[in-house]
Each structure stands twice: as C-alpha cells, then as structure tokens.
Amino acid sequence: MLSSIVGPPTASLASKQYVTKLTGYARFPASTPTMSDFRAVPTPADAQPDAYPHIYVKDTDAELPSFQTVGFGRYSSFQPLASGGSAQLRTCRDKTLGRTVVMKTLHPHLANNAYMQSRFLREARVTAQLQHPVTVPVYDLGRDTEDRLYFTMKKVEGETVRGIIERQAKGDEQALAHFGLERMLGVLVQVCNGLAYAHAHGVVHRDVKPENILVGAFGEAVLLDWGVAKVWADEESEQDARIMEHQILTDVNQRPGTPLYMSPEQVRGGSDQIDARTDVYSAGAVLYEVLTLTEPLRGKQVHETFQKIINEMPAPPRERAPNRQIPAALADIALKAMAKQPGDRFQTIDEMIEAIRSFRGRALESAE
C-alpha cells in the first residue's frame, strides 16, 4: 500500500546519499561511461521514502473563498488558446513578472457545480505540489472578476504523443525519423519517473494517455491533466473523499477517449482497488501504442471497450504490427504492464522503468 511507504518530510542520510548519487551522475566522468555506470543511474526507488510528504485530500480540495480576486489584476492581454468541456485556456501577460503565462478558467455554467469546482482545485493544487520536471509549474490560483476559478501556469510548447503517433501512422517521414523508438522510450521513462514521484507522495494520476503527454522540442516530457488524480484521505476528511471518488469514477466512465487506457479495476469502478499499479497499466497501454501505432483494445462503443479491457488481452505487439520490427523484450514489457490482475503487473512503476532501462542497456551493448 502506498500509505505504508510514505512518511513525514524529513531528509534522512539515505535521502542525502541518493541526491549525491544522482548529482554525481549528472555530469559524466572524463572517461567513457561503462555499462555498469549506465545501469547505476538511480531511480526514485533509491531514495528514502521519508523524503516524500504525503499529499491528502485536505491539501487539494479545500474550497476557495468567493471573490478572492486580489491577484487577478496582474494579468492582461488575454488570447484564446483552447476550450474544453469544463474549462477555457488562454494565454495572458503577467504584468508583475513581465512574462506570458497560460490561464485555465472554469466555465461559467459550472460555477455552482461543487464536484467540478473540487476537481478543478484538485488539478491546480496537485500539479502545484508535485514539483517535478514532468509537471507544469503552477504560479497562481484564485478567482477572476466574475468569481470564476482560475489558475495560471507555465506556457509549454510541444506536441502530444497522440499527435506524434497519428503522424507516424500516416507514414509521416519527419515524425518517424525525429521520434524514433529510442527517443520515445526516453519520453516514456521521463513520464514514468514523474509517476514514481507522484506515487511516493500518495498520488495516482489515473488518466495517463497519449493525449496527456506533451513532448518538447528537446525531448522533454510533460504529463498533463491531474484533474482526476486519486489522493488519499486522512481520517478527518475521509467521508468527503469517498464522495469525491464516487463522482470521479462516474465521470471518468463517461469521458470519451479515456476508457481506452483505463485499467480493469477502473472499469469495474472499485475505488479501493485503485493504486499505483493502475498507472502502470496505463503506461503499458501507451507503450503498446508507441510500439504498434495502434490502440491496444477498442470496441465499437464504450461498453464494448470496457468488456474487452476486462476480458481480453491485446494482440501481441509483434503480431499487431509485424512491419514495425518491435523488439520482443519491449513487447513483453507492454503486455506485463497491461496484465488483467494488478498482482501480475510490475508492482511499482520503478520496476517498469528498470525493465525499459535494462532493454536500452542491452541494446547499447549490442550496438557497440
């Protein structure tokens, strides 16, 4: 259980040794690194768990008082960016710091929807509290002059993994050349490292999919949309957390596109069964699609997709895409991550990272 591996935010000797180990490998020695050096680069599993304070519902879902508009006046020059079912994205100018940021604002018709407000606040606060390279820095949270919730964040540039896969599936030579398998594995490892960091804080993303992974110009990855993340309750807020969980599960089951990457336990709707291995499943589904350029399981309707997720394994990647020259080891990693029973998957996202890293190490050895 995640709660058993997360303690108070104290910096132990093991944590300091982990940081020393990590920074020591941030710059390679003068000599050429050996394969043992390559494998020794640490993962979050090397760190002492007590370095990661637990994030609770009371930290993410607390209401924001109405007409708290003090900070809104610092923003100007609004330009529309995108609009979804629950919120609008705009770029704007932060006059205080002289920079362009992105503002996400809850739609007016949701102003009295307590669940959607809680979900919006959770996304802002979880993203802000998970200070990791794969999360977008959040700068501000408040209400605008019309009393609508908003938060501002860093403007990030890039292309989603969904866009990359779609271009590759169409035979786009630039996409195939620029986003080769090694680079896409690097992106996935970055995302998995971010998930490991979140899991150490007691947070499960629950919506890992190609649409929510952004790839920057230099190969950096960003994991978006923490609005349906699962956070655990302390004793005081346990009842409110269970109500929120029920509403989130109902909402997720109806979201178009998302079911393709849901784990069997998500489809069944059992909140108590959802833990870090749920994200392992979704990461495996993303890896499957990166390898094959096709979705693992899809029915003609959402209900049929759910039945496939519960009852069927996807076709082996090398059979699904025989012309893609998919390494057998990577195909096995994807299928293990997508096992129907959580106990048959990688038990932590770190185990999946290590499996991918071992494959990359063997590939490097064979290329020498």
What is the reported pLDDT for 150? 95
Same domain (yes/no): 196, 110: no
pLDDT tens digits, one per residue of 193-235: 999 999 999 999 999 999 999 999 888 999 999 988 998 766 5
Same domain (yes/no): 268, 346: yes
What is the reported pLDDT for 6? 34
pLDDT tens digits, one per residue of 70-95: 678 899 999 999 998 889 999 999 99
Same domain (yes/no): 163, 249: yes
Question: Could you tell me which residue, 219 or 30, shows the higher pLDDT?
Answer: 219
pLDDT at 38 over 90: no
CATH of the domain at 86: 3.30.200.20
Share of the chain above pLDDT 70, in %: 72
Residues annotated as catalytic (active site), given as ranges: 207
- Average of per-residue pLDDT across 329-343: 97
What is the reported pLDDT for 234? 62
What is the reported pLDDT for 341? 95
Write down the residue that tokens 């924001």 correspond to.
64
DSSP annotation string for 36-86: HHHHHS--GGGS-GGGSPPPBHHHHS----TT--TTGGGEEEEEEEEE-SS
Q: Model confidence at 57, in pLDDT bands (50, 70, 90)?
A: low
Question: Could you tell me which residue, 175 or 31, shows the higher pLDDT?
Answer: 175
What is the reported pLDDT for 29? 39
Same domain (yes/no): 236, 318: yes
pLDDT at 11 over 60: no
The answer to whether 210 and 286 are in contact (CB under 8 A) is yes
Same domain (yes/no): 270, 335: yes
- Average of per-residue pLDDT across 311-325: 95
Same domain (yes/no): 88, 140: yes
Same domain (yes/no): 232, 106: no
pLDDT at 240 over 60: no
- Average of per-residue pLDDT across 97-123: 92
Same domain (yes/no): 260, 122: no
pTM recorded for the entire structure: 0.79
What is the reported pLDDT for 32? 44
Domain count, the chain: 3
What is the reported pLDDT for 299? 84
Same domain (yes/no): 249, 354: yes
Parent domain of 17: 2-53
Same domain (yes/no): 68, 171: no
- Average of per-residue pLDDT across 167-195: 96
- Average of per-residue pLDDT across 292-321: 92
DSSP annotation string for 239-294: HHHHHHHHHHHHHHHTSSSGGGG--HHHHHT-GGG-SHHHHHHHHHHHHHHHHHSS
Same domain (yes/no): 23, 66: no
Catalogue the E-assigned strands of the chain.
75-83, 87-94, 99-106, 138-143, 149-154, 159-160, 203-204, 213-215, 221-223, 230-231
Same domain (yes/no): 191, 43: no
CB within 8 A of 55, min separation 6: which ones?
A: 126, 129, 130, 201, 202, 203, 231
- Average of per-residue pLDDT across 304-312: 92
